[in-house]
Chain A
Amino acid sequence: GDSVTQTEGLVTLTKGLPVMLNCTYQTTYSPFLFWYVQHLNEAPKLLLKSSTDNKRTEHQGFYATLHKSSSSFHLQKSSVQLSDSALYFCALSAGTNSAGNKLTFGIGTRVLVRP
């Protein structure tokens, strides 16, 4: 079945530094990849998405590029802010009509930004 792997459970860094969160996936279908962000005591929200190979997608200072050759969709930001402290989930849609928006999520990476 489909799966998503996020290797870091917790990332702690200082404000202003760059961050990269790893995400790899497995699927036999054409992949659609997503990043969701969940701030403390809030609902998860879609951050960005892609289904186009080797094309960078950006939103709110975050960016990611889907690389089908390596089955990866890493999330990056050049300079983190205190407000970026949150839980980040990578997610995969199998890209079939029956699956639609049914997403398989990774375990999540908690980002803690210190002053």
Chain B
Amino acid sequence: DAGVTQTPRHEVAEKGQTIILKCEPVSGHNDLFWYRQTKIQGLELLSYFRSKSLMEDGGAFKDRFKAEMLNSSFSTLKIQPTEPKDSAVYLCASSLEGTGITGQLYFGEGSKLTVL
């Protein structure tokens, strides 16, 4: 089975640009998460979808971050406009809801964003 696929793996942007990160979850999974990973803050939740419905978007990230799930097999995270402090690794994860709380998130390898 294919795991979670994230593209691009690396992105370099100028301050003020718009970037779009993409994620394909594990087939059949209905929970999808976007996390931001930094050395200082660790893993911070950006957005959480269940069956394509937005369940939660991290309050601190609302203004410039927008995640969408157009269908069950594809999600995007748009950052607009980018700022240097957005430099981080963005992780997408999926899981199968309905089997109880397993904590079994399947993560992609991440998209490393550098904003100059």
Q: Chain A residues in contact with chain B, CB under 8 A? A: 32, 34, 36, 41-46, 49, 51, 89, 91, 93, 95, 98, 100-108
Q: Are A105 and B42 in contact (CB under 8 A)?
A: yes
Taking a contact as CB atoms closer than 8 A, the residue among B42, B44, B56 that contacts A102 in the complex is B56
Interface residues on B, range: 20 to 34
Task: Contacts A45-B107, A95-B101 given; indicate if A100 touches B42 (C-beta within 8 A).
Answer: no
Chain A residue contacts of B4, Cβ below 8 A: 43
Q: Judging by beta carbons under 8 Å apart, are A101 and B31 in contact? A: yes
Give 9 closest A-B pairs by Cβ, nearest first: A107-B42, A105-B43, A43-B107, A34-B103, A101-B95, A44-B107, A49-B103, A100-B97, A43-B109
Complex: A32 Cα to B107 Cα, angstroms: 19
Which residues from chain A contact B31 at a C-beta distance below 8 Å? 100-102
- Write 10 A-B pairs (CB below 8 A) sorted by A numbering: A36-B105, A43-B106, A43-B109, A44-B43, A44-B91, A46-B105, A100-B97, A101-B31, A102-B55, A103-B105
Give the residue of B33, B48, B108 whose beta carbon is less than 8 angstroms from that of A43: B108
- A95 cross-chain contacts in B, Cβ below 8 A: 101
Cβ-closest chain A residue relative to B97: A100
- State the Cβ distance, B105 to closest chain A Cβ, in Å: 6
Report the separation of the CA atoms of residues A77 and B43 in the bound assembly, to the nearest whole angstrom. 24
> Contact flags (1/0) for B50-65 with A, using CB distance below 8 Å?
1000011000000000
The answer to whether A43 and B102 touch across the interface, beta carbons within 8 angstroms, is: no
Query: A105–B55 Cα gap in the complex (Å)?
Result: 18
**Distance between Cα atoms of A45 and B25 in the complex (Å):** 15
Q: How far is the CA of A100 from the CA of B48 in the complex (A)?
A: 11
A105: chain B residues within 8 A (beta carbon) = 35, 42-44
Cα distance A94–B31 in the bound complex, in angstroms: 16
